[in-house]
Structure 1
């Protein structure tokens, strides 16, 4: 058997990399759902045998009204969370990506691009590092190979890095500079709103200062176990906000994430219950059909 890595995903086929080079693997109905980064075993004819165990897996809620999980990438060592030092900079978005990295079990590194166009990149670096004093944050000019060399330690042999970030923050430019060749198409930016054109197709939030304050730990200290952290007496989170130890924006984002997780969890449970009921109905119909046949 030959190991192969999934390096490209298309509608009806996968692009694989083996020790002999690249090859195409057609997608068949009996194959498991594979994603970029997966390791698979192939037989001597280059046909799929099985999927190897994943060490990490990025997933998210798929677009649409139905709550389904969409797998994004597997076996990632580090994720570069990319944001830009212009009007597109968004701490809430960075936090959401940090939650995604945490759930996937992957080391996050925040990369702030367009440092060459920012008068004071360090103020943005400090804002991001306030989320977690152990978080690695680098401000770079994505067009300058010497400047992005600070990321080299995460890009060594045998390492797999994923890039997360909104359109226009410089992910493709960063990939091209790191690889030394134009791997990804890049697009222009609308200067009036810093938006880019689309050219490329557990659950704790941390506020760390002087030893660290964790929202989930503060919540456990509230007087009431069902505290909503609004105006309830004995709320330790509100006490921390009033003392200037916790930012109200952090709490708002934390509560928003909890609401989304509760909604997704309830929707998935509801779907499973419906599937279970359908299964019972199907088995009942089968049993009745067999009974009628035996009575003939």
Structure 2
């Protein structure tokens, strides 16, 4: 029996048309953005599936009445949508992504690591204790801005803090574009606090370091133990890794929830626009400087230094911007050089192979 996929295409009804019941695909996060890339015939031949986990052994995917594994071979991120080729799973077609989180791989590796795709809202989670770090929050927010995903800062462990307001004030000072919420994930109404961003059909993700309460938030949304949790170390308030892989869960109402392992190291690359968005105040001031190449140190007519002297710009914020921008440029240039070397090496192999075949043909 051929499944009718016409219901998964964008609706053409009027505003008076009764809203149909949500489909199985819509409960997995299927949206008009993805439907616009295919037609009914393609959907019938290669039904859509969503990547829920990525392992060395392959990727777990879910679709309408389908739950399976795709062998290694495709570069996938949790949250991706594919048109599944049953005969040749590794030939499944990856649909254009609505958004993509990626970072430079941890350590000395010179390649990108895909974190998550097709996220609508990211909750950047940190705790109200000594692990709170403004510079680290700025990294996550720059990543969100670069990915064009709406970020929300969530301050956890409010029950372990005498006064959360200093943490809220510091978080709110980072960007006026980012809402800040302080909650007690164990006793508070998590679903109610995050309801504005958790409508059916949406995809949300929790990002942050280990032990800040990401998995506890996931469990609170579901009202069940979906993700493993553990406490923090008492000596430095830092967490232990409990989530070991990125996993996507789905509520009965059709909300896709992505839990991720804690990231102690977040190296940005190809994120110039995201950093500029996050530090829009610094960028706008720099544009007013007398000299285009102003270093904001001793140059005459420096609008940035003038703002610092007037108390309108925190010098620590300027230094964090400089450090993050310099790191991003270095990482981007390093990865670009590697891609260039790989491309040149590939061309050389093709040339040598072609020449070798030519010599064999003349024998």
Q: Which of 91, 106, 111 is equivalent to 2:149?
A: 106
Match of 2:193 among 150, 167, 178: 150
Supply the distance in 1 between the matched residues of 2:315 and 2:190 (Cα, whole angstroms).
35
Separation in 2 of the partners of 1:89 and 1:110?
12
Pairing 1:1-296 to 2, within 5 Å after superposition: 1-21=46-66, 23-29=67-73, 32-43=74-85, 47=89, 49-146=92-189, 149-201=192-244, 202=273, 203-204=275-276, 206=278, 214-296=281-363
User: Residues 119 and 149 of structure 2 are in contact (CA less than 8 Å); yes or no, is this contact kept in structure 1?
Assistant: yes
In 2, the alpha carbon distance for the partners of 1:215 and 1:168 equals: 32
Q: CA, structure 1 residues 145+13, in 2 after alignment: closer, same or farther (shift >3 Å)? A: farther
For normalisation by structure 1, the TM-score amounts to 0.90
> Over residues 250-281 of structure 1, what are the superposed CA-to-partner deviations in whole Å (9 max), with x where a residue is unaligned?
11111111111111122123223323432443
Report the CA distance shift for 1:141/1:46 in structure 2 as closer, same or farther (over 3 A): farther
> Pairwise CA RMSD of aligned residues?
2.1
Bigger relative CO (Cα 8 Å, ≥ 6 apart): 2
CA distance in 1, matches of 2:159, 2:347: 62
The Cα of 1:74 is off from its aligned counterpart by 0.5
Residues 209-251 of structure 1 show CA distances to partners (whole Å, capped at 9, x for unaligned) of: xxxx711111122222222223333222121111111111111
Preserved contact between residue 142 and residue 278 of structure 2 (Cα < 8 Å): no
Distance 1:293 1:261 in 2: 48
Change (3 A) 1:45 1:180: farther
Give 1 or 2: higher strand fraction.
Answer: 1
Deviates more, 1:5-14 or 1:286-295: 286-295
The DSSP-based 3-state class of the residue aligned with 2:276 is coil
TM-score, normalization by structure 2: 0.74
Q: Is the 8 A contact 1:206 1:215 kept in 2?
A: no
- The range that moved more, 41-50 or 275-284, is 41-50
Unaligned runs of 5+ in 2: 1-45, 245-272
- After superposition, what is the alpha-carbon deviation per residue over 1:135-171, rounded to whole angstroms, capped at 9, x for unaligned? 2110000112425521122112101111111111111
Which structure 1 residue ranges, 5 or more long, are not aligned?
A: 208-212
